[in-house]
Chain A
Amino acid sequence: MPEPLLRLEKVTVAFDAVEVLSGIDLEVRDGEFVALVGPSGCGKTTLLNVCSGWLSPSRGAVHRPAGLRMVFQQDGLFPWLTVDENILLGLSHVADRRERRRRADALLELIGLRAFVTVYPHQLSGGMRQRVELARALGGETPLLLMDEPFSSLDYLARLKMRWELARILREQPRTVVLVTHDIEEAAQLADRVLVLSERPARVRDEVVLGMSRPRDPTRPEVVSAVHRILTVLGLESDVVSGSSQTLSVPVGPEEME
């Protein structure tokens, strides 16, 4: 079996006396899409910060590839740069100017924003901004993308659309992804594996494997069953399950959202 791309061994993070992560083991293999879900404030983002190297664990070890890129929940685009300049910045490791331009054009094509090259981020919608941020992150040659609730600031329909966009983009530019999300349905629709974290201090309470191609119809029994299982692990099923079945009956593809 090949070496995992990202490996966390018994990672514990404590701020003063408060333990946020407790003995987390995580292995992410090349090409996998792993989602981390858990109660609000349980330490999902802290775990992602440890994965990225922004935060050092109090105990344990982290093995990560070089030059990984992150997509953030809040605006990570530089507002003083245009869409084009932001994407080109993500390609600054490419020495040849023409090649950089060619790759930037390909990324703009990929995210469908060629007409917006001279526009500044504050003039774009939230969904467009996230697509640009994704394109900038994809510009790196890193095989690993870390995504911290990238769609949480979007409205519901935009979130649904972005799931399909992300699935499409990853089909064209495959990457290994670790996604932190509070949206269980999003995790079940996109991830190969969903790790369910406990209340703080976070431990991995369950692992749900979804071996299906993306994007998934949210009404598929396997997806519905995964959502129910995650909700059960989180102790929320009795409160949410009736609502979730209603939620899951909404659009399955972007064309149905037009």
Chain B
Amino acid sequence: MAQPATKTGNPLLALVTPAVLIVVWAVVSSARLFPPSLFPHPWDVARGVWFELKSGRLVNDAIASLFRVSAGFLLAVILGVPAGLLLGHSARARAAFLPLVNFFRSLSPLAWIPFAILWLGIGDPPAIFLIFMAAFFPIVVSTTAAVANIPSVFFRVARDLGIGGPRLLSAVTLPAIAPQVITALRVAAGLSWLVVVAAEMIAGRDGLGFAVWDARNGLRIDLLAAAMLVIGVIGAALDRLLVQLTRIPSVRWGYER
């Protein structure tokens, strides 16, 4: 029997490298190679994080950003996966819609910011719209490719076993594309998190992107770096959360070939 892939490497390494980076940052900052107004000390940033946490603003901003990402991302999944299933199954649908999908996915989601503000004002709706535009097309394209690449032998077996109709979708198509779709969701979630920050900078009144922009306007470089730190930590945490999906036993085959 083939052995399942096992983890190698020490998990402590994941803590050591950021710690080394912070030490280097502190040394460079303490050496005053750059003015403190351009290159804050990690201690000032930590104080900024603490200050923002105490005021409750950081938590509110993080919740606002996470809400927008969740809403835009979930909307993209709810519409993108079925759209990909349709395109993957139907050559006619691919011929009709793939050129459009390719056109829209080539547009940076940020290019939609002016329209998003004009159509939806500022606050949650434009940010959710932009996140949707960022996540929807990668999900559609990956799901389409995953469906189109399902080995035909699975459908033949399904036919032999009397699996058809809606059961074919739940018993064959969805499990067969699950590993690829999970990878697409990770990519789309990363893009969503990138876009929410940009969207809040321009079309927001709160959120972590707005916090970055507000700190920049107030020349609070420590708070700016603090917001960036929190954005990075939450982004990595979101990815870790989605990685858990790859641990589901029935999708491991997609990652252990």
A80 to B249, CA, bound (A): 8
Do B251 and A123 have beta carbons less than 8 Å apart? Answer: no
Partner of A70, one of B2, B160, B162, B172: B160
| B11 close to A (CB within 8 Å) | no
| A164 close to B (CB within 8 Å) | no
Do A78 and B154 have beta carbons less than 8 Å apart? Answer: yes
The distance from the CB of B87 to the nearest CB of chain A, in whole angstroms, is: 22
Binds B, one of A2-10, A87-95, A155-163, A168-176: A87-95
Partner of A119, one of B1, B159, B171: B1
A69 to B159, CA, bound (A): 9
**Chain B minimum-CB-distance residue to A49:** B156
**Chain A minimum-CB-distance residue to B176:** A80
Do B151 and A120 have beta carbons less than 8 Å apart? Answer: no
For chain A, residues 22 to 55, give those with C-beta under 8 angstroms from any C-beta of chain B: 52, 54
Range, interface on chain A:
20 to 34
A93 to B249, CA, bound (A): 26
User: Taking chain A's interface residues, is the majority helix, strand, or loop, or is none over half, making it mixed?
Assistant: loop
Do B257 and A140 have beta carbons less than 8 Å apart? Answer: no
Do A80 and B253 have beta carbons less than 8 Å apart? Answer: yes
User: Taking chain B's interface residues, is the majority helix, strand, or loop, or is none over half, making it mixed?
Assistant: helix
A47 to B172, CA, bound (A): 26
Do A93 and B162 have beta carbons less than 8 Å apart? Answer: yes
Do A80 and B175 have beta carbons less than 8 Å apart? Answer: yes
The distance from the CB of A254 to the nearest CB of chain B, in whole angstroms, is: 18
| B178 close to A (CB within 8 Å) | yes
Do B253 and A140 have beta carbons less than 8 Å apart? Answer: no
**Chain A minimum-CB-distance residue to B157:** A76
Q: Which of B154, B160, B176 lies at the interface centre, i.e. has the most chain A CB atoms within 10 A of its CB?
A: B160
Set of chain A residues within 8 Å of B16, measured between Cβ atoms: none
Do A74 and B151 have beta carbons less than 8 Å apart? Answer: yes
Do A69 and B256 have beta carbons less than 8 Å apart? Answer: no
Mask: chain A, 107-123; 1 = CB below 8 Å from B; 0 = not: 00000000010011111
| B95 close to A (CB within 8 Å) | no
**Chain B minimum-CB-distance residue to A118:** B249
**Chain B minimum-CB-distance residue to A90:** B161
**Chain B minimum-CB-distance residue to A74:** B153
| A106 close to B (CB within 8 Å) | no
Do A124 and B1 have beta carbons less than 8 Å apart? Answer: yes
Given A123-B4, A124-B2, A69–B162 Cβ distance below 8 Å?
Answer: no
A70 to B159, CA, bound (A): 10
Do B160 and A140 have beta carbons less than 8 Å apart? Answer: yes
| B250 close to A (CB within 8 Å) | yes
| A207 close to B (CB within 8 Å) | no
Partner of A80, one of B151, B161, B251: B251
Partner of B2, one of A74, A81, A122, A140: A122
Mask: chain B, 1-19; 1 = CB below 8 Å from A; 0 = not: 1111000000000000000
Given A116-B1, A125-B1, A128-B1, A76–B153 Cβ distance below 8 Å?
Answer: yes
Do B252 and A120 have beta carbons less than 8 Å apart? Answer: yes
Set of chain B residues within 8 Å of A120, measured between Cβ atoms: 249-250, 252-253
Do B157 and A92 have beta carbons less than 8 Å apart? Answer: no
A92 to B176, CA, bound (A): 19
Do B156 and A121 have beta carbons less than 8 Å apart? Answer: no
A120 to B175, CA, bound (A): 14
Given A80-B253, A89-B161, A123–B156 Cβ distance below 8 Å?
Answer: no
Given contacts A78-B154, A93-B162, 15 further A-B contacts (CB under 8 A): A52-B156, A52-B160, A54-B156, A68-B160, A72-B156, A74-B153, A78-B176, A79-B253, A80-B176, A89-B171, A92-B161, A92-B162, A116-B1, A119-B1, A137-B160
List, sorted by A's number, 28 A–B pairs whose CB atoms are closer than 8 Å.
A52-B160, A54-B156, A54-B159, A67-B162, A69-B160, A70-B157, A74-B153, A75-B153, A76-B153, A78-B175, A79-B254, A80-B176, A80-B250, A81-B175, A81-B250, A89-B161, A89-B163, A90-B161, A93-B162, A120-B249, A120-B253, A121-B253, A122-B252, A122-B253, A122-B256, A123-B2, A125-B2, A140-B160
Nearest first, the 5 A-B pairs at minimum CB distance are: A79-B253, A80-B175, A80-B250, A122-B253, A76-B157
Instruction: Give the interface of A toward B (CB within 8 A).
Output: 52, 54, 67-70, 72, 74-76, 78-81, 89-90, 92-93, 116, 119-125, 128, 137, 140
